[in-house]
Amino acid sequence: MTTPTTTTTTTPATAVSTSGHDLPDRPLRLGTRASALATSQSGWVADRLRAAGVRVELVHVRTEGDVSRASLRQIGGTGVFASALRDALRAGEVDLAVHSLKDLPTAAEPGLVVAAVPEREDPRDALVARDGLTLDALPRGASVGTGSPRRAAQLALARPDLDVRDIRGNVGTRIGLVRDGQLDAVVLACAGLSRLGRAGEATDRLDPDVMLPAAGQGALAVECREDDRPLARFLRDVLEDAPTRAAVTAERAVLARLEAGCTAPVGALARAGADGALALTAFVALGDVPRRHAETGSDPVALGHEVAEHLLSRPDPVVGRSDDAAAGGSLFTGA
């Protein structure tokens, strides 16, 4: 007769109690894409969780967005980055996943919950240009790379003279196009640059009056299974930042409402105002007509829907930079 050897491990019978959270006594498995950006933000979350007293191991998950060179639209939009991670979560292969919030579809994912939205990085877009140039200082006709219709539409308004080129690739690849002289500049998220330790390469940080970021840009979403209540509570208690959650909820509500009817480029940015109210500004280019609208409110979802409805029904047209506007007027009638 043999005694099962598996019972001889010294695992304590009780679960780890980390400041009152009953988590299983094994490392948390954090699913991440293998890209430099994904591992950087997953590593940041893992470090925060470790500082709170738990063990965490990173599990690399390959997504179609990493493998395919086809355009994002061809392979199913931004959700391609999230779907493989979500499959791994649902299958129980990992316990939590970290996403760039702006890459998450707005639809709720059955069985999963965004347990925490940590404090946001700089939400703005950045220009990485040759010779330290800012957007205003780029010479007439300069070539600027972006694969984002949102960035392209707003660049065309701010600087109609620019030659906007459609580009693909990760942050390093895109900056490389400037370094090797193929482009004068590229537009990238400030947050991505700083997560890669490359914030110093930004030559301009674009004012949201000129370039509204994508909904959720600069923020992370930490997701787990909805029925994993102790973990969801732990993630919220350790990582959640309420002001960021409110802001990105409002921004994503705009996106959700506008997406219902179109695939137009959308920008949205909410910030806490003086009295705790949210100030939300959104941009959409419907057909060839760019529109922008700002409102304040206290309920993030209601505010987002209100701004979206306004854009759809009573748009404030955006005035592009004509020669008069360039002489000092606001770029936008509504802002």
Determine, following the binding rule CB under 6 A, whether residue 191 of this chain makes contact with ligand PBG: yes
Smallest separation (angstroms) from ligand PBG to the CB of 147:
8
b/e map of 178-204 (b: 16 or more CB within 10 Å)? beeeebbbbbbbbbbbbbbebbebbbb
Token pair recorded at residue 197: 């330790």
**Strand partners of residue 266:** 284
Smallest separation (angstroms) from ligand PBG to the CB of 210:
17
Look up 291 and say whether it is catalytic. no
Smallest separation (angstroms) from ligand PBG to the CB of 66:
11
Binders of ligand PBG among residues 16 to 45 (CB under 6 A) are none
Give 162-168 contacts, CB < 8 A, sequence gap 24+. Answer: 162/138, 168/69, 168/71
Binders of ligand PBG among residues 92 to 131 (CB under 6 A) are 100, 102-103
Give 22-27 contacts, CB < 8 A, sequence gap 24+. Answer: 22/230, 23/54, 23/230, 23/231, 23/234, 26/55, 27/54, 27/55, 27/56, 27/57
Look up 198 and say whether it is catalytic. no
Helix axes 36-51, 229-239, angle to 10 degrees: 90
Listed ranges 185-193, 233-241, 242-250, 297-305: which one lies at the site for ligand PBG (CB under 6 A): 185-193
Smallest separation (angstroms) from ligand PBG to the CB of 96:
18
Listed ranges 159-167, 184-192, 200-208, 304-312: which one lies at the site for ligand PBG (CB under 6 A): 184-192
Smallest separation (angstroms) from ligand PBG to the CB of 174:
8
Which residue's C-beta sits nearest to ligand PBG? 192
At 314, the amino acid letter reads: R
Determine, following the binding rule CB under 6 A, whether residue 215 of this chain makes contact with ligand PBG: no
How many angstroms separate the CA atoms of 291 and 152, rounded? Answer: 14
Instruction: Give whichever of 23 and 30 is closer to ligand PBG, judged by the CB atom.
Output: 30
How many angstroms separate the CA atoms of 209 and 330, rounded? Answer: 9
Look up 150 and say whether it is catalytic. yes
- For 8, residues 6+ apart whose C-beta sits below 8 A from its C-beta are none
Residue 245: closest CA among 118, 98, 82, 100 = 118
Residues near ligand PBG (CB under 6 A), total? 10
Determine, following the binding rule CB under 6 A, whether residue 188 of this chain makes contact with ligand PBG: yes
Name the phi and psi angles at 178, rounded to 5: -80, -45
* Window 132-171: contact mask with ligand PBG (x via CB under 6 A): ---------------------------------------x
Look up 131 and say whether it is catalytic. no
Look up 73 and say whether it is catalytic. no
Listed ranges 111-119, 187-195, 250-258, 295-303: which one lies at the site for ligand PBG (CB under 6 A): 187-195
Look up 288 and say whether it is catalytic. no
Q: Which residues are catalytic?
A: 102-103, 150-151, 168, 174, 262
Point out which residues bind ligand PBG (CB under 6 A).
100, 102-103, 171, 188-189, 191-192, 217-218
